[in-house]
Structures are given as structure tokens and as C-alpha cells.
Structure 1
Amino acid sequence: MSTTADQPTQWPQLPTIELPPFLEFLKLKSFPLKVYPPVYERPKLTHDTLYIYGPGWRNSWGSFDVECLQMQIYLKFCDIEFEAKNNNEPNSSPSGKLPYLATVTGAVYDTDQIHKWVSERNKTKALASIADSEQAKAFIALARTKLHAAWLFSAWLEPLNYSEITSKAYYGHVPGPINHLLAYQKQNEVVHELLTDRDILVREEIYKDAAQALEALSIKLGDSAYFYGSSEPTWLDAVIFSYIHAIMSMPTLPGSTLGDEEKKQATTLRNLVRKHENLVRYAKTIYDEWLK
């Protein structure tokens, strides 16, 4: 036997109200009634644009940020026409990180997607040998672990570099005291990143690993203009150049309230690079040819 619970609920139909003719104007025959132009409309891009941290050290065209500089120089290597715009606001990126590329078609790409975009345009610069390409991945990994850790430590944890250079480069455009808070937050993020593959941070060990990485890169480069004797630069060159250039072009500290020992510590990584004349020459040649 069916019950009332088994039957669907029947709601009473709402009455239809007809407005008299003299109230016809109350009917919203179209909505919205009026569309006002936007207060600010973002201008359309006329060129594909790479948004980066900048300007570079000493106001050069290349970014002071290693990851931004890698993509910036690689797009140059690939003969892609683009504009570089100093953004310094990672939150403007869909991924929350710089760099990112915005195209004239309205598409936006983060770093990994930019590589795919370059490949689809048949502009990729790769080593001729498959074996060399596979070995190059090992050198890229070496740079992005050992050399990258030393770069982060030098930029964010050496007291003079952090207070006088790095924090101002990344957050100097932000009014105080917010700039100091953001720099302190970033410094903590760097510490956590460096601790992902080690229990404690030992300054000497980090720089020792960097010295070994630089030695291996110097031997591999030899007297060649580009790695593996390539006739044109590849993604490996973009990665290695970005680290060497960022390290060597960081501003010097002529005066400071801190002592000579702190100044010496601030230049430790730069001095490690200077031991390898071919790496210094390599970075200068690429800068003069592609960025200057």
C-alpha cells in the first residue's frame, strides 16, 4: 500500500500577475539596462611579452633572477621576437611565479608551458647528438642542485648580500615596512628549500658542492664557445649562463657598517667562479652577443 511519503510533493502554482498598462515601464525587458565602459581596460599586447624580475644588476636588460634570465636568454637563442617587461609581482602570474609569457593571442604560459610553446613553433635549440642531449640533462641537474643551492645561500643568507642587494632587488618597489616582511618571508622559504635534501645548513659544504660543480662545468666547456662544442647555444647554455652571469654581475659592496669578514663572505661564490677563466669568458661572450 502506498503512503503519502511515496508521493511527490505538489507545490501550489504561483499566481500570474499582470501589470496594468500604465505600469508597463516596470518590466525589465532587457538586463542590464545600460552597460558603462570599464574604468580601466588592459591594453592589448602588440608583442609576445615575457614578464620577469628586473631590471638586472646595474640596470642591464637581463633579469637579476636566475630562473627569469634562463627563459629570457633562451628565447633569444631561439630567435623568437618578444618583449621583456619588468614585473616583480609573481602574484600576477597564473602559477604565482615569474617568469611567465603572455602572447598576443591572449594565451598565458608558465615556464614549463613556454618550452612546449617554443617547441610547437619549431624553434627549439637542441644538441645534435642524442647522447650529448641526454648527458646535458645531467649537467643541468648538477647546476640546478649544487650551483642553485649556493646561489640561494649567497643571495639570501649571506647577511650583506641579503640586506644590501637581494631584498632590495626583489622588494625595493614595495613600501615599508611591507617590503621587509616580504623579504623575511622569502628568506624563510629559501631556508626551507635548502633543507629539503639536507638536515642542517653548513656554509662550507654548500660552497664546496658549488666548487665541485663549477670544476666539472669548466672541464666540460673547455675552450668551446658553447657546451659540447655546439655551433649555437642550447638550453644547457641558457641554464649555465644564467647562474654564472647572475653571480658575476651582482653589485659589489664598497662601503658597509659590517666588517671585512662579512664582505669576504658575501663574495665567496663569486670568487669560486673567478677561478675558472673559461667560465667567466663564456658568460661575458654570451652577454655581449645576446643581451648587450
Structure 2
Amino acid sequence: MPEDDSTADAQTRAANPPAPRGIFSVPAPIKRIFDKVPLITYPSNELPYRAANEVDGNRLFVFTDDEGARLGKPSFNPQCLRWQAYLKFVGIDFHTIPSNNHASPTGALPYLLPALPLNTLVPIPSNKLQKWAIEQVHCEEEQQISVRFEVYASLLDTRIRNAWLYALYLDKDNFDAVARKLYIDPSTSNSLVRSVLATQLQQAARDELLKTSDYIDVSDLEAEADNAFEALSTLLGDNRYFFDRRTPGLFDASVFAYTHLLLDKDMGWRHNRLSVLLRKYKNLVRHRDNLFEKFF
């Protein structure tokens, strides 16, 4: 629009919106407009001054708005919410800071600025967050506890993620009601730039889905997501948390990142077929409700 490196990379792809194409991939009439504007290459982004100097404690930079950050509400981005939830689950205190990929020194969200060492300006990217959390509170690394972790994580990486991409970016009504409101409108007031961003995001989602299929079949995407929900429901069973853990962990956070946003009425979905499919699995709904009530 974010263990070991291979797992982290897979999880990043699973939750983040696909990276948009460059500016010169847009239609020729729009390109000609930008050709008339001098382009300047700026150095890498520095950390936001306010975030680096005016907030004490650990700071997690995520997709959210000012009210959401102030109240500690769940991020509206699955990758950000995954790590926001995980840090809460393992008992690490932090403040959420509104941000976006362009403002991130790592080029993507989320990232964390730790409270210690004092005055550090070295961000921790999402693929290092679990390792950092383990060092802070000596929690478990789930990937080593259960050999099934990566097998079931692939359901999120592919089937649920693909259905999410279509629902958010390629369903026109959802795109206008949800994606524009959350990702495009806050980034700029320029209507032309908004149009370019919309084109980029939708084309990037389309390209991502066409990597594994010659055409996009909505019914097939929904059926695959339904199969994934069923498998996750079977895995959870009557347990409170996945893999029969006593406390929620990274996999619980990964599932919650999708189930919460699909069930959250505040997202403003116009068409939410995935929510209908998800609600068939009562234990997944309970899992989401319990985590939301306890941690948010």
C-alpha cells in the first residue's frame, strides 16, 4: 500500500497491499502531464521529527489515523495489525504512530522505534520484530514449536490474501468506499494524483492475482478462501488459541489481522462476501471477538 527471514518475507507478502507500479506505467495522457513537471530525486526519508522526539516509549508506525493512534485502535492494514496484535499479545507496551510507506525509512510498514537504547533512531522492520520481541520478554518462537505453523500460514499467504486483494482493490464499490478512504484520500488532496494512485493500486492487485492464474475468477477466489477458513477452523477446534497455546501468539495475530478486519463494521465494506463465509465458522468468530475484547 508486515522468525526467520523466509517466514517473515512470506508473511509480509501475505498481508501488505501489493507495491504499486512506477509513475510511468500509467496511461499516456497522464504520463504526458507528469513529463512537463520537473522531477527531483530526494534522499531517503528521515524519521518523523514528532515521532522521534515527542513520544516516549516504544513507537510502532502503522497505517492508522490520529484518532486510531490516540485510542490504540487496530490498524486497518492486515500486515500492520498482525504485528500490532502480536506485540500486545506478548505484553510489550508501545504507542501507535500514524504513518505510510512513503514516510517509512524502511520503505514499508510497520516498523518500530524502540525506547531503548535511549534516543535510538534505528528502526526495527517487521521481519525483525519477532526476534526483537523474544529478546525483550523471552516469549516463544512458534515456528519452532509446531511444524504445522508454516503449512497453515500458507493459507493466509495465498488463499485468504488473494481473496482480500480482490475484495479491497478490485471490487469497485469496496475500492471506492474502503480503499480510497483509507489509503488514497489521506495521502493527498490533489485529484490527479489520487487518480494515479488508484490506477496503480488496482493494477498492482490485478497483476498479483494473475501471477497464479490466466484470469481472475471471483467465485474461485471465494471458494479458496472458504476452504482456508474451514482448515483454520478445524485447526483451532475447541481451543481458545491456535496450536493449543495458553496465550495467543504470532499465528493468532496473523489470523486475527484478517478476521477482525473482515468482521469490523467500521471498515465500511459495501460487499463483504468473505465475512459471510467466515461467519460460518463460529470458533473463528469467537477467536476474533475474544482477542478484540481482551487486547483492544
1:268 aligns with 2:273: yes
Give the letter aligned to residue 163 of structure 2: A
Aligned to 2:112: 101
Counterpart Cα distance in 1 of 2:79 and 2:49? 30
Deviation digits for residues 31-78 of structure 1, max 9, x if unmatched?
Answer: xxxxxxxxx96552421111111146xx87000100000000001111
Higher mean C-alpha displacement, 104-113 vs 41-50: 41-50
What is the TM-score normalised by the length of structure 1? 0.75
Change over 3 Å in CA distance of 1:253–1:41 after alignment to 2: closer
RCO greater where, 1 or 2, for CA within 8 Å and sep 6 or more?
Answer: 2
Aligned to 2:166: 153
1:287 aligns with 2:295: no
Q: 1:250: Cα distance to partner?
A: 4.7
* 1:74 maps to which of 82, 86, 90: 86
Q: 1:136: Cα distance to partner?
A: 1.6
Deviation digits for residues 215-272 of structure 1, max 9, x if unmatched?
Answer: 0011111121101221001111010111100111154769xxxxxxxx5xx1211111
Change over 3 Å in CA distance of 1:60–1:245 after alignment to 2: farther
Counterpart Cα distance in 1 of 2:149 and 2:128? 21
Change over 3 Å in CA distance of 1:113–1:60 after alignment to 2: closer
| 5+ long unaligned stretches in structure 1 | 1-39, 255-262
User: Helix, strand or coil: the match of 2:204?
Assistant: helix
In the alignment of these two chains, the number of paired residues is 237
1:235 aligns with 2:247: no
Counterpart Cα distance in 1 of 2:139 and 2:233? 25
* 1:119 maps to which of 131, 134, 137: 134
* 1:50 maps to which of 25, 41, 60: 60
Contact 2:260/2:288 (<8 A) preserved: yes
Change over 3 Å in CA distance of 1:80–1:123 after alignment to 2: farther
| Bigger Cα Rg | 1
Contact 1:78/1:123 (<8 A) preserved: no
User: Helix, strand or coil: the match of 1:101?
Assistant: strand
Q: 1:204: Cα distance to partner?
A: 0.9
Q: CA RMSD of the aligned region, Å?
A: 2.2
Q: Pairwise mapping of residues 178-193 of structure 1 onto structure 2 (< 5 A)?
A: 178-193=193-208
* 1:163 maps to which of 176, 196, 212: 176
User: Helix, strand or coil: the match of 1:134?
Assistant: coil
Counterpart Cα distance in 2 of 1:206 and 1:126? 31
Aligned to 1:27: none
Q: Which runs of 4+ in 1 moved over 6 A?
A: none
Deviation digits for residues 180-226 of structure 1, max 9, x if unmatched?
Answer: 32122112111112222222211111111100000001111112110
User: Helix, strand or coil: the match of 2:147?
Assistant: helix
Change over 3 Å in CA distance of 1:140–1:41 after alignment to 2: closer
| 5+ long unaligned stretches in structure 2 | 1-47
Counterpart Cα distance in 2 of 1:148 and 1:64? 15
Aligned to 1:195: 210
Give the letter aligned to residue 111 of structure 2: Y
Contact 1:165/1:251 (<8 A) preserved: no
1:84 aligns with 2:84: no
Aligned to 2:152: 139
Q: Pairwise mapping of residues 205-244 of structure 1 onto structure 2 (< 5 A)?
A: 205-244=220-259
Contact 2:83/2:253 (<8 A) preserved: yes
Identity of aligned residues (%): 29
What is the TM-score normalised by the length of structure 2? 0.74
Contact 2:262/2:272 (<8 A) preserved: no
